[in-house]
Structure 1
Amino acid sequence: MDSDSRANFPSILQGKKILLATESWGPVNGVSRTTRSLVEYLRDNGVDLILVAPDFKGDTAKQSAQVSGERRLPGCALPYNPDLTVVYPFHLREVYRQAFEPDLIYLASPASLGFQMLLQIRQLRSPPPVLLNFQTDLSAYSEIMLPAPLDRFGVWLLATVQGFLFRTSAVRTIFYPCSAIRGYLEGAGAPADRMVKLGRGVDTTLFTPDQRDDAFRRGIAPNGEVILLCVCRIAPEKGFEFLAQVAMRLSSEKVPFKLLIVGGNRNPVVESRVQRLFDPVRRHVEFTGFLTGAALARAYASADLFLHCSVSETFGLVVLEAMASGIPVIARDQGGPSDIILHGKTGYLVPPNDLEQFTSLTRQVARDNELRGTLSVAARQFADDTTWEKINRRAAWQMADALVQTDQEAHGSRPPRPTILASAMEQFRLMFAVAIVYGMWLIAVVPLIVHGNRLLPRAWLAVRRQLIPRI
């Protein structure tokens, strides 16, 4: 099908029943914002969509009644990040009965919810086509959060589980956000012929240089200091120790700056631990907590330079939002930002552990107004070609292709019934996979739930060991 025919929403999806399961629906993060954009796009174009997600205790908009078109599953919130919930075991038939028999299933960032669904989909005689979007690199989180030797074991275990589940025959498309993730998926054994690169879009109407607010700037930097911005969830894996080192070096070099950190964590222990990292330069730093909508857009556009220090991002939506706001970005060259930033044109990419170069580039761009202006224009131009409309339309056409392919297979020759031995082998593999998945959650999650914040110092030591260079 030519590109012109795909310029509009695929009509085959109108009226279709789609079950969309997501691991995050409610918290302020890249996965929930990306998924919300797709949900709104599909519903606006006539799709009958039911959303399934873990229960989220922080969702004050849903306290007394179930939101229409939404099915919440109970689970246990993670102590180091209460926004994320490990879903208790459930049966797919319960979801179907309370929702509907779907024509297609879409799994956003599959983990505790998505893994269970994939395991049960494997048992269906005629499963609907499945598309999944790999948005969260769980192996990177395991490597950072778990103490040795569980960190290496966690990475291996996740790759084993993901490779097995992603080879499920019903899975038609595996969306991935960047080249680094494709390499990981191939290494895990996911089928390369089903992989499709799908980035994220950005709201170029909300995030725009027009949101710049001089009064807001004066409140942050009353003496005309350059404003450095960081936007992300406050958590050990987001590179805050690296950022604190950058801030301390800039301060020692007498660079006039203010560092605005936008984000938070519903676990006050984690948030407090991050804030204490900046005690030596506290007069340079301001924490705003979570911001959304116009307030977030104003923070982006009112800054001069965006600093991205996380190395665990599969895409890095905040990088794209900063660029749409006309703000150049300096980022560590790992994960999603490596595929977004045009080095030397819209910002700079720095080797992950090169603290000296990161600080030097920050100082250079902070002091050079003309360079900042050139980078700013190029950053906005890049973002203009990356809208949610284009990204969501690409996802919708992949769904349409999956439905057509499934329909063609249904009208073709039926595959022979498996032998008793083959059925027994498949059942054994399924039971083995179930054991692996629940063993993974037992090893990786239960200790965090049982010990809670007492494991956080270990996590921080792991972050220091893996993310901070020796200086």
Structure 2
Amino acid sequence: MKPTDLRVALFSGNYNYVRDGANQALNMLVGYLLRQGVTVRVYSPTTKTPAFEPTGDLVSVPALPIPGGRGEYKFAWRLAPETRADLEAFAPNIIHVTAPEVLGHRAVTWARERGLATISSLHTRFETYPAYYHLTFLVPLMIKGMTRFYNRVDQVVTPGQSTADILREWGVETPIRIWARGVDHARFNPGMRSQEWRRSLGLAGEEFAVGFLGRLVLEKGLDIFAEVCRTLTSRGVPHRVLVIGDGPAREWFAGQVPEAVFAGFQRGDDLGRAVASMDVLFNPSVTETFGNVTLEAMACGIPVVAARATGAVDLIEDGVNGFLVPPRDVSAYADAIARLAEDAELRRAQSHAGHQKAQAYQWDDINQVVLDTYLEVMERRGK
């Protein structure tokens, strides 16, 4: 079978209506597949105000806003008749599902009833979310449901070995392959650093900028981030917080880090400039499966202090291109950031090491892994 023989129906819970690392990776994948001659059709909830234009053909599936203050995300509770009719007309030979939600389950069931190949990619550690909303009693049920979900498909692809290991611990027996992430090296590199841009935000001269990059939501570890910054202040470590991004927790976070500079969402080359203009990226999130922001910072030559959790452990060599810290150890986070703030030679060494490591992450090479996986699954099934 050749790439041009593939007809892929890709199901996503969020393909382009909110900007995050997962949907941007999916859009990059679809673009690559289309360039290789693969026929792709994407099924996802949509909005009238998408965050960016979708890559490829996007079919809107019926969905409702998620309750509980997270209405910016959509929940598709079924595989609607009009979606089924579109699928039948498209006639895919492989189904790729990207989230263990109702839509993904229904798509897998639809495929299994027709004897079609199925692949699932893992993008988010949803089982870590309840802890941020005082719903930890849901975690065992979520893990049980996700284990069943990943055992129903022919192949799973995960962003790194750390997430693959977790699936195995849960009892997932489906074959697993690693699909990492790439980075745009023309956009994310040390040459994008701009003292002029820093000054425009009120960051003086050599002021040490502790950066946050991502959506401002509680599950990104904003509580720990704020507590660590207060600890740095109490220790007399000079620093300023530079926040790149926005989200529903912005007002709360601004109250926690009142001296922070909020630069808002940055896009394109402006984003590369913002990342390169930090002095350290602080990423205390434990919900990441890969950590696109970590790789982008590394490509810019920015040391990273991160939680010792999935994603970060696949990218950061502790003490070489950043520091890995036990997830909620405020004192240890502060120690690591203080070391970088006070030791310019250490910063330079970690900057160089991170930049060098990031060079291996090229989007086309990484997305070829998914295409190869599609073809291998079809071969296993005798298609």
Q: TM-score, normalised by structure 1?
A: 0.76
Q: Residue 127 of structure 1 corresponds to which residue in structure 2?
A: 115
Q: Distance in 2 between matches of 1:371 and 1:330?
A: 13
Using the TM superposition, give the Cα deviation of residue 376 of structure 1 relative to its aligned residue in structure 2, in angstroms.
0.5
Inter-partner Cα distance in structure 2 for 1:155 and 1:129: 29
For 2:316 and 2:51, locate their aligned partners in 1 and report how far apart those are by CA, in whole Å.
Answer: 36
Aligned partner letter, 1:209 = P
**Alignment of structure 1 residues 26-37 onto 2, 5 Å:** 26=16, 27-37=18-28
**Residue 68 of structure 1: how far off its partner (Å):** 6.7
* Highest RCO, 1 vs 2 (Cα 8 Å, sep ≥ 6): 1
Aligned amino acid, residue 85 of structure 1: K
Instruction: Choose the corresponding residue for 2:148, options 145, 161, 164.
Output: 164
In structure 1, how many angstroms separate the alpha carbons of the residues matched to 2:75 and 2:305?
34
How do 1:47-446 and structure 2 match up within 5 A?
Answer: 47-59=38-50, 69-79=57-67, 80-91=69-80, 94-97=83-86, 100-122=90-112, 124=113, 126-147=114-135, 151-152=136-137, 154-168=138-152, 171-192=153-174, 194-220=175-201, 221-265=203-247, 267=248, 270-278=249-257, 282-283=258-259, 285-407=260-382
Which has the higher Rg, Structure 1 or Structure 2? 1
Unpaired segments ≥5 residues, structure 1: 1-10, 409-471
Output one character per residue of 1:148-207: Cα deviation in whole Å (capped at 9) or x when no partner: xxx22x222222222223222xx2210122344223322433215x11122212122211
Q: Aligned residue pairs: how many?
A: 379
**8 Å CA contact retained: 1:345, 1:378:** yes
Cα distance in 1 between the residues matched to 2:84 and 2:31: 21
The 1:227–1:92 alpha-carbon spacing in structure 2 relative to 1, beyond 3 Å, is: same
Secondary structure of 1:306's aligned partner:
strand
Distance 1:28 1:94, change over 3 A: closer
Counting helix residues as a fraction of each chain, which structure ranks higher?
1
State the distance in 2 between where 1:61 and 1:341 align: 30
User: 2:181 aligns to what SS in structure 1?
Assistant: coil
Q: Compute the displacement of 1:110 (Å).
A: 3.5
Given that residues 95 and 108 in structure 2 are in contact (C-alpha distance below 8 angstroms), is that contact kept between their aligned partners in structure 1?
no
SS of 2:305 mapped into structure 1: strand
- CA drift at 1:61: 6.5
Tell me by how many angstroms 1:58 deviates.
Answer: 3.3
- Aligned to 1:14, the other structure's residue is in SS state helix
Structure 2 CA distance, aligned partners of 1:325 and 1:68? 30
Amino acid at match of 2:368: R
Q: Distance in 1 between matches of 2:189 and 2:133?
A: 35
> What is the TM-score of this pair, normalised by structure 2?
0.92
- Deviations for 1:288-322, whole angstroms, at most 9, x for unmatched residues? 22222111110111111111111121111100110
Question: Cα gap change, 1:292/1:61 in structure 2, threshold over 3 Å: closer, same or farther?
Answer: closer
Supply the AA of the counterpart residue of 2:251: S
Note the alpha carbon deviations across 1:252-274, whole angstroms, 9 max, x for none.
23322221111112x4xx32122
In the alignment, the residues of structure 2 paired with residue 348 and residue 87 of structure 1 have an alpha-carbon distance, to the nearest angstrom, of: 39
The one-letter code sitting in structure 2 at the alignment partner of 1:167 is N
Cα distance, 1:324 vs. partner?
A: 0.6
Offset of residue 93 of structure 1: 7.4
Task: Say which SS state the counterpart of residue 2 (structure 2) adopts.
Answer: helix
Question: Does structure 2 retain, via aligned residues, the 8 Å contact 1:22–1:110?
Answer: no
Residue 243 of structure 1 aligns to which amino acid in structure 2?
F
Note the C-alpha offset of 1:133. Answer: 0.4
User: How far, CA to CA, are the matches of 2:56 and 2:325 in structure 1?
Assistant: 46
- Match of residue 13, structure 1, among 3, 10, 14: 3
Is the contact made by 2:111 and 2:118 (CA closer than 8 Å) also made in structure 1? no
Residues 1:159 and 1:121: Cα distance change in structure 2 (over 3 Å)? farther
Shift of 1:146: 4.3
- Cα gap change, 1:93 to 1:42, in 2 (>3 Å): same
**Cα 1:67–1:385 shift into 2, 3 Å:** closer
3-state DSSP class of the match of 1:135?
Answer: coil
1:430 corresponds to: none
Looking at structure 1, the residues matched to 209 and 51 of structure 2 have their Cα atoms a distance apart, in angstroms, of 33
